[in-house]
Chains A and B, each alone.
Chain A
Amino acid sequence: MNPRRKKRFIMTSGIIGGVAIATALVLYALSQNIDLFYTPTEIINGKGAEQVRPEVGQRIRVGGLVVPGSVRREGSGLTVSFNLIDTGPAEVIVDYEGILPDLFREGQGIVAQGILIAPNRLQASEVLARHDEEYMPPGLAEALKGVEHVPPSQWDDSQYRSNDNGADDKSENESGGGYYDR
């Protein structure tokens, strides 16, 4: 094999090998976590045909809708807890200390990452908001879905304070998309 051909051969096989390895790695990685999160139902009842449940102490993500009326702020700090639900009736309680994303509200889709401290309780280190694929002006949203979005940073201070009745007027919020029941 002359040097030029050899060089080309090495180059080509290098590229093909690289692509093959990359694809294999990607597929390997994806096969384990193509789903970004567990739903509350999967955590309580198990996931897939084998009914695999995440173990207590495992680091996982949970995704679901914030149950209206379940948001509780504790103390004067940033500690907050709320329940997540998908198709029901299983609910997972999320405890979180930190700043909630602006899109957070009751009925909103949320993905929380953290450690499972009880079969149905997650100590979250990160809370991400998951908005739906619907876009509309505020007036239309109120008329159509009865939703008026108030970012957590603008919440009334007395609201959501450990189970007081301030949250009641919010509890009628529709979940909106229902995008977890597939």
Chain B
Amino acid sequence: MWRWLHPYAKPEATFHLVQKLLPWFLVPGIVLSVLGLVWGLAFAPPDYQQGESYRIIFVHVPAAMWSMGFYVAMAAAGLLALVWQIRTAELALLAIAPVGAVLTFISLFTGALWGQPMWGTWWVWDARLTAQLILLFLYLGVMALYVAFEDERAGAKAASILALVGVINIPIIHYSVYWWNTLHQQSTVTRAITRLEAPSIAPEMLYPLLVNIVAMMLISAVLVMLRLNNEILRREIHRPWALKYLGIAVSTPAATTGKE
């Protein structure tokens, strides 16, 4: 596996791979987002007790789910950056953090909008909501730590450590509703994986939800890939391959000296 992965330690190889993969994420992402949102918001039946208000689930659950998923991905990048000292992994960490932070914010915000009419409160300091708020702070901490050092490699190192330490919070978020009394209800979809119980949602609501979950992953991945490639390009801007990619090879000093 390492022989297969090693070429991508070189930013150039990663850049071209991401460039190749991008349309395969972007096109299905857009199609599934439109499909999932129209299906969920317009065609799925209303809930027996929450009526139409439950429809925010089609945004809330995918965002909350991937706020944790992308955190794990970011921590994995942190591990690569720390142990194998792969620079591309540091850039990946930097690329993922703001996207994950936005997903976390969306989950908290839509949760508040949902909580007000259903529970009767915007916010309550129960274990689930608090743990998710800590996740937002972890993302913000990773971003702040990355740029808090004059030496960028040192910043990346510190951010990687924080990202890795913060992984402890992920199981706490998921199991908070089982370990403690919370206002937040228990897991509806993920329990199929973590507790081997059937999802407790009618199929005509589950299918659009699953579509939205996949769509949210694809769209977020596209944002991460764009950020990663922009960052790679920005750092490698003076390298011949980058200039060639940007199509400005002819007018640069490097190219002219090559001609002479």
Contacts and interface: CB of A to CB of B under 8 A. Distances in A.
A89 interface: no
A34 B90 CA distance: 35
B148 A179 contact: no
A19 B179 CA distance: 25
Chain A interface size, as a band, is 35 or more
Contact of B46 (A102, A133, A137): A137
B180 A35 contact: yes
26 contacts: A8-B149, A12-B149, A15-B145, A26-B130, A36-B124, A63-B183, A101-B120, A103-B50, A108-B49, A111-B183, A128-B119, A128-B183, A131-B50, A131-B185, A133-B188, A134-B200, A135-B50, A136-B47, A137-B46, A137-B47, A137-B205, A141-B49, A142-B48, A148-B48, A149-B48, A149-B49
A148 B148 CA distance: 56
Interface residues of B, number: 44
Contact of B180 (A11, A34, A131): A34
A69 to B, nearest CB: 19
Interface in A124-142: 126-138, 140-142
Interface of A: 4, 8, 11-12, 15, 19, 22, 26, 30, 33-37, 39, 63, 101-103, 105, 108, 111, 126-138, 140-142, 147-149, 179, 182
Given A134-B200, A137-B48, A149-B48, A102 B118 contact: yes
